[in-house]
Every structure is written in structure tokens, then in C-alpha cells.
Structure 1
């Protein structure tokens, strides 16, 4: 089996369809399938900020349920899940766009999409490994010491990364650059912190190329270890996120 890893879709449905088509997937109802021996891996944060989170949820869910894809959650997925099950969360940082979409649906469609997302999330592994554990998909990354653990510490790291507790001048979190210290044998494919192009450090690759911020949506193809990107239809806003290493600290 070969894999196509895609991270941080953030409601960019049009770009997701374009990317899957460029990768050789063919549309089948609400989802896509690959005629060859390939499977998509969605590495978290499929919703929020973009215009079509509901359609992305439907597509990802359809592909997972038909065994055409694997999905692992991100921090935005976790927050949407907590909101939908009635836990107190602040509706900000993009969640407001997904909530607006869901609330704009008819009652029956709203019930269906909530059920669809809850099933998708509850059945998702925290992170997933492939090819006899040679490669791992984890939304914000995974250190070697946490591999195999599903503790609260592992969950925090997978969802939020190496949190420093500090913020930049724009009020955004400054994240530690865990990849610089990674010495593990497994290849870790992750996203969470946008970069201009796929970022290779040690045996890690960050494939969040900030589609919703106007850059691109990128897939990492394994075992070829190649990337394929489609341009974003959104306006480029580099001030919103660190598209380079400016805000990355050891």
C-alpha cells in the first residue's frame, strides 16, 4: 500500500478536490477513490477558517468509511468535537466559521453532519503508523519517547505540539521546534504550524503549507517521499502565521 498524506485542510474543499484529482483519485459520490494501490491519510484540522468545512467533513468521512482514507485528529478537530458534545469552549480561532456553517443547515442536515463528525472523531486513532511502523501521521508531531503512548501528555503533544506558553507580536503561540531535536527512526509526517513549502528536518516533514492563508494545499506521497501541491484560492496573508522559521524556537 502507498499513501498520500494531507494536513490542515481547514475547510478548503475546492483545493482538496483539486489535490486528490491531481494525485490520481477519482470522484465516487461524496468521496474519492484511487484506482491503484494508494490511500489518503488526513493529518488533522479538516475544519475551521475556510468556507466549506461541512463538505470537507462529508468527503473525509465518506473516504474513511469506504476504506479509502485514514483520519487522525488535530487541535481544531478536538475543539469542534468538544463543542458538539456540549463542553464549554470559546468559539474563536476559526471555529466560528464551522459553527456558522452547521447552524445554517436545515435541522435534519445539521443533525446528520453532527452525527457524521462525531462518529469520524470518536473512531479516529490519536495518531497512526504505516508500512510496519516506518512512518507515522500525527497532527502536530510526535517525539520518539511518546510513540506508543496514548497518555494525556501524548495527546497534548499530538494535538498542540511543543507548546512554550509564549506568544508572538500577533498574539499567536510560539511553538518549540521539536523536529530539530528528533532522533527517532520513524518518519513523522505532521502539520499544525504553516510553512511556505514542505519542511524536512531530521526524519520529519511538516506538510501544512497554509492553504487557508493563501499559500497551498500539499500532499506528501509515501514511499516516494515526494510532494504535490495545488495553489490556494484564498488571498495570501503571511502576517497571520509563521510561514518560515521566524517564530520557531528551540
Structure 2
């Protein structure tokens, strides 16, 4: 049974989340290790080995979900709407195998700014280990892993909300979550190379390439060195020059609505800042969203038609 362990956020919000407890199968790690037929993504998550970038054999259908940032309740609601979970007679949420065999893909940035950071990590981990979800690493996930390792990490850009949730974890628990986060791939190649998923997007020259430069591009993108009228850093609009055949779906850059340009789709619609949590359904080429419960991060959404790509700080 899933319960929110994070003390931050309003009491009303947490009472709401507790009333919608999430159930998922309880299996021992030893039992999962014996399942040699499990997909590579599941085996890697279990053993702690890095998960593969090349998932060309997975051809969909896939529901690709944007930045979560600790919005566990909105994620649960979206999973129900997409058919990956169902509401029980007691009002709780139960994860299920999708009746149409659809996959879940999360675009990283599982935590920070939001009210339910530990719950978001737990839910994502179960989606991957028990339901074969594809999860790529975001820049916030990389920084959280460093903090969990005890490395010198600047507590900024919403990390303080996650530290408040996770500071009571034991050393063993911290190591386990750090192992898992560090195992997430920086990007994945899907559907025989026709689909690329990466947190901040990925230039064509880096598709399927595992290098420091490719990783930096996938997790962080590139800043312009400028800020918008709200003082938020803007990113280089690499999609404007993209001419690749593969469809690239990413988050990281906040827009009020899904953005499509040159076979690149951006779906971070600022849920943590009072916007929406959005999923892109592949190959149907449609979007499904749920509205945020609140502006958890006390941030601002970009203008309806931004001239620059705005990055979530």
C-alpha cells in the first residue's frame, strides 16, 4: 500500500493523496531476479546495472509522460486516465497492465519543487520494475543521486523540497535509491530508431551515442546565457534546426501547451507550477493531460506563445 511519506505541502493536499492510496504487487527481489525472461530494462533496474539506450525492439504503443517534479497525485490521475491504473471500490489507485499492451515512458525530473517527492520516486520505481516502464534520467535526477551519495551538492532549484522528504532515509535506503537513479539511461532509441526519448531533447548526431557530450545534451540541453522577462534562464532552441527522421520527444523546457517543431515534441507543461501533466501517445500522435492541483513550486508559466524555450530552474 502506497502512502505519501513527505511532510511538505498543504495538509489538504496530503489528505487527498492519502485517500487515494496506491496498491501495487509486492514481490521479493529474489523472486524478480529469478525471472530471466524479464525485459532488459527490468533486469537492469533489479541488478543496478546501467539500463540500455538501445530499445529499438520496443515499437509501441507508448505513453510518454513529461516532467513530474514531485506531483505524485497528478501522475496517479494521469495513469488512470491513460489506462495504466484503475480506481478501486475503496477509492485507492491500483496499477495494472494496460489492456492494450501500452508502455509507460517517463521523461525524467521525478522530483524537486513538488509536494510528494519520495512518493514520486517510489511510484516510478514500481512502474519500471513491475510493469516494464521506460524511464530516462533528468538533470534533477542526476543531482538528487549526487546528494544521496553524500557528495557536495548545492541545495537549490527545488532540491530542498526533496531533501526534506528524503533526509530521514537510512544509509542503505539512500544507496538503493542512488543506485536506481544512476542506472537510468540518458536517452533511449525506440521503434527501430523512429523514436528518441530524452529529458532535454537530443540532436541527431547524438542519437544512440553513449558519451559525456551526448549525456550532457540529453540531460541539460544548452543555455542561451539569457533570461526571459520573469528572470528564468532560456535554452537554445535546437529544434529549430533539427532535420532528423526520428521523432524526438522531450521535457525540461516548460511550455503552456505541447510544442511541435521539425519532428520534435516538447511536453513539459509545467505541472509543478500550476500547469498540466501531459502525456504524448505514440504512435497515435495525440496528447492526454491532467490539470495541476496547485502551483506547488511557486513558479511562473511562460507566456502562451513564448519566443524562447524556457527551462525549469
CA distance in 2, matches of 1:98, 1:193: 21
CA distance in 2, matches of 1:148, 1:13: 30
Contact 1:51–1:97 (CA under 8 A) maintained in structure 2:
yes
Structure 2 counterpart SS, 1:66: helix
User: Which residue of the partner structure matches residue 291 of structure 2?
Assistant: 231
Gaps of 5+ in 2: 1-59, 87-91
1:170 CA displacement: 4.0
After superposition, the Cα gap between the structure-2 partners of 1:172 and 1:208, relative to the gap in structure 1 and judged at 3 Å, is same
Higher mean C-alpha displacement, 24-33 vs 133-142 = 24-33
Structure 1 counterpart SS, 2:280: strand
1:37 CA displacement: 1.0
1:146 CA displacement: 1.4
1:63 CA displacement: 1.1
CA distance in 2, matches of 1:26, 1:118: 27
Given the alignment of the two structures, is residue 246 of structure 1 paired with residue 310 of structure 2, yes or no? no
After superposition, the Cα gap between the structure-2 partners of 1:237 and 1:100, relative to the gap in structure 1 and judged at 3 Å, is closer
CA distance in 1, matches of 2:111, 2:252: 13
TM-score normalised by length of structure 1: 0.90
CA distance in 2, matches of 1:237, 1:71: 23
| RMSD of equivalent CA atoms | 2.3
Structure 1 counterpart SS, 2:253: coil
1:241 CA displacement: 4.4
User: Which residue of the partner structure matches residue 175 of structure 1?
Assistant: 235
User: Which residue of the partner structure matches residue 273 of structure 2?
Assistant: 213
User: Which residue of the partner structure matches residue 15 of structure 1?
Assistant: 74
For this pair of structures, how many residues does the alignment match? Answer: 245
Contact 1:215–1:236 (CA under 8 A) maintained in structure 2:
no
1:30 CA displacement: 7.6
Gaps of 5+ in 1: none
TM-score normalised by length of structure 2: 0.73
User: Which residue of the partner structure matches residue 203 of structure 1?
Assistant: 263
Runs of 4+ in 1 over 6 A off after TM superposition: 236-239
CA distance in 2, matches of 1:47, 1:143: 25
CA distance in 2, matches of 1:141, 1:237: 23
Given the alignment of the two structures, is residue 52 of structure 1 paired with residue 152 of structure 2, yes or no? no
1:145 CA displacement: 1.1
Correspondences of 1:19-30 after superposition (within 5 Å): 19-26=78-85
Higher mean C-alpha displacement, 75-84 vs 115-124 = 115-124
After superposition, the Cα gap between the structure-2 partners of 1:91 and 1:212, relative to the gap in structure 1 and judged at 3 Å, is same
1:239 CA displacement: 6.3
1:235 CA displacement: 3.3
Contact 1:198–1:206 (CA under 8 A) maintained in structure 2:
yes
Given the alignment of the two structures, is residue 2 of structure 1 paired with residue 54 of structure 2, yes or no? no
1:168 CA displacement: 3.6
1:43 to 103, 107, 110: 107
Deviations 1:120-171 (A, max 9, x none): 2222111012111111110000001111222221111111112223334544
